């Protein structure tokens, strides 16, 4: 029986469409919910970070019912060969608080002093496994030389924020939900100090079943904390800015990840940094070949229409002018602006950019309307009203 933090999704037809990545327990974690996932997924509360904990193949000759997921490759094998319908049980992590990053898990940390009116030049996104805020892209045109000298890399975790003085008390960000981290970064007085950490990486042998299964790289002593004051703004180096990127585990070829064990409950291991992680997309099971159209001639969920023939909500605005952009990873052709900063000098009531009604983020420019469903109707100065849980939230700062 499902607990209060669990819910079931009955997969009846079409490709499931979800992408999973293994966590430190070798359990499948949802790392992408694309807009063309099957209708049952899109109608559920499923969000990035939720864990697939059990499944029911609904076989008459196997009355055991719901079976726990014991290993990542077990799930991949079962779902690729199962006959639909299959009931999938997920554990919601919507209210879960991330665990503190332990010092023994960090091979290097560094501190950057973030000055007022200066962009950080990196994007932060929620790691679906650890729920920490990690660097997922670096903009060479915006990152300051002082920050660049600290050599941040994809996967570095934001650990703490503190005032720019010796007396100020640090606030742990690694124990906050991602939405609270972003709010803290927006509201914290600058200049402030941001502490980042680089996690321990496992050896290649850690991905295979060997006697060295739990061997890690020897832990290096934590590097002395380097405090670098940002005294100059980002210079124009003529380099192309990096778009919002998928974490590397969403960009790798479709290949079966190597599990820690082939059977039984695998031992807990160190979580791989987000930059090294693999993922696997679950499509339609192999035995049940699905034709391009369903029996009644309606398109499947993989198309741009829903199963009742109507377009998804991302395709056009409703009668109140609201519309949804479905972001499921990758580069998105959209530039946002901070209304609280840009609109300070505006006083005319007929200025569209001045009528933000308390909302602080608006579209500055649409550079590629085909990069995400729904973006084709977006225009400059449209207001960002809300961010849903279906997408990996990425924040440029």
At 356, is the pLDDT very low, low, confident or very high (cuts 50, 70, 90)? very low
Residue 88 forms beta bridges with which residues? Answer: 9, 55
Closest CA to 31 of 43, 11, 17, 12: 17
Q: Minimum mean pLDDT among 71-75, 106-110, 227-231, 332-336: which range?
A: 227-231
Same domain, 83 and 154: no
Q: What is the pLDDT of residue 145?
A: 94
Q: Give the domain range for residue 82.
A: 6-96+268-281
So what's the pLDDT on residue 54? 96
Please tell me the predicted confidence (pLDDT) of residue 394.
Answer: 58
Predicted confidence (pLDDT) at residue 194 exceeds the cutoff of 70: yes
Residue 95 has pLDDT above 70, yes or no: yes
Q: Are 113 and 237 in the same domain?
A: yes
Q: What are phi and psi of 356, to 5 degrees?
A: -95, -10
**Residue 21: what are its φ and ψ, rounded to 5°?**
-135, 145
pLDDT of residue 203: 44
User: Would you state the pLDDT for residue 387?
Assistant: 60
Structural domain contains residue 304 = no
| 259 within 8 A of 26, measured Cβ to Cβ | yes
Please say if the pLDDT value at position 250 is more than 60: no
For the chain, how many structural domains are there in total? Answer: 3
Paired tokens of 102: 């332990």
| CATH number of the CATH domain containing 81 | 2.30.42.10
- Residues 181, 145 share a domain: yes
In a domain, 259, yes or no: no
- What's the rounded Cα separation, in Å, for the pair 48 and 29? 8
Helices (H), 261-360: 339-342
Q: In this structure, are 39 and 158 located in the same domain?
A: no
Residue 235 covered by a domain: yes
43 vs 291, higher pLDDT: 43
The pLDDT of residue 243: 34
Q: Are residues 125 and 57 in the same domain?
A: no
Compare 374 and 159 and report the one with higher pLDDT: 159
Task: Please check whether residues 240 and 140 belong to one and the same domain.
Answer: yes
**Residue 166 domain flag:** yes
Whether 136 has a pLDDT exceeding 80, the answer reads yes
Which of the two residues, 370 and 21, has the higher pLDDT score?
Answer: 21
What is the distance, to the nearest Å, from the Cα of residue 5 to the centroid of all Cα atoms in its chain? 20
Contact between 368 and 332 (Cβ < 8 Å): yes
* 107 and 79 within one domain: no
Examine the domain organization and report whether 143 and 213 are in the same domain.
yes
Average pLDDT over residues 366-370: 85
Measured from the Cβ of residue 93, the count of other Cβ atoms closer than 10 Å reads 20
Q: Is the pLDDT confidence value at 390 over 60?
A: no
Least confident of 72-76, 114-118, 360-364: 360-364
Question: What is the band of 79 on the pLDDT scale with cuts at 50, 70, 90?
Answer: confident
Residues 125 and 237 in one domain: yes
In whole angstroms, give the CA distance from residue 61 to residue 58. Answer: 9
pLDDT of residue 328: 56
Does position 308 have pLDDT exceeding 60, yes or no?
no
Pair (118, 89) in one structural domain: no
First to last CA, the chain: 43
pLDDT tens for residues 10-56?
999 889 999 999 999 999 999 989 888 999 999 999 999 999 999 99
308 in a domain, yes or no?
no
Let me know if residue 294 belongs to a domain. Answer: no
**Pair 108, 236 in one domain:** yes
Cα–Cα dist 21/213, whole Å:
19
């Amino acid at each position: 029986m499902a607990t209060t933090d669990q819910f079931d999704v009955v997969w009846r037809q079409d490709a499931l469409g979800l992408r999973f990545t293994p966590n430190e327990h070798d359990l499948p974690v949802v790392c992408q919910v694309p807009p063309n996932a099957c209708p049952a997924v899109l109608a559920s509360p499923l969000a990035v970070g939720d864990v697939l904990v059990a499944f029911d193949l609904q076989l008459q000759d196997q009355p055991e019912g719901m079976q726990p997921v014991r290993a990542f490759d077990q799930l991949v094998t079962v779902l690729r060969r199962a006959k639909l319908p299959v009931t999938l049980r997920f554990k919601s992590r919507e209210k879960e608080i991330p665990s503190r990053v332990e010092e023994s898990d960090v091979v290097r940390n560094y501190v950057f002093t973030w000055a007022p009116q200066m962009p950080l030049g990196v994007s932060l996104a929620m790691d679906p496994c650890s729920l920490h805020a990690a660097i997922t892209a670096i903009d060479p045109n915006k990152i300051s030389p002082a920050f660049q000298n600290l050599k941040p890399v994809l996967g570095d975790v934001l650990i703490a924020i503190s005032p720019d003085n010796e007396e100020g008390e640090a606030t742990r960000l690694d124990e906050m939900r991602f939405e609270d981290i972003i709010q803290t970064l927006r509201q914290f007085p600058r200049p402030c100090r941001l502490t980042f950490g680089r996690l321990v990486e496992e050896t290649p042998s850690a991905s295979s079943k060997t006697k060295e299964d739990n061997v890690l790289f020897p832990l290096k002593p934590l590097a002395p904390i380097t405090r670098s004051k940002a005294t100059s703004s980002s210079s124009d180096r003529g380099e192309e800015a990096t778009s919002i990127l998928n974490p590397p585990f969403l960009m790798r070829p479709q290949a079966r990840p190597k599990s820690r064990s082939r059977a039984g409950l695998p031992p807990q291991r160190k979580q791989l940094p987000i930059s090294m992680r693999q993922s696997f997309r679950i499509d339609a099971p192999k035995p049940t070949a699905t034709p391009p159209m369903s029996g009644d001639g309606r398109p499947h969920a993989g198309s741009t229409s829903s199963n009742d023939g109507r377009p998804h909500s991302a395709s056009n605005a409703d009668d109140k002018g609201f519309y949804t952009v479905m972001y499921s990873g990758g580069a998105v052709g959209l530039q946002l602006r901070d209304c609280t900063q840009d609109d300070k000098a505006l006083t005319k009531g007929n200025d569209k950019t001045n009528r933000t009604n308390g909302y602080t983020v608006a579209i500055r420019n649409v550079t590629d309307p085909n990069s995400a469903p729904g973006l084709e109707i977006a225009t400059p100065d449209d207001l960002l009203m809300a961010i849903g849980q279906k997408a990996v939230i990425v924040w440029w700062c």
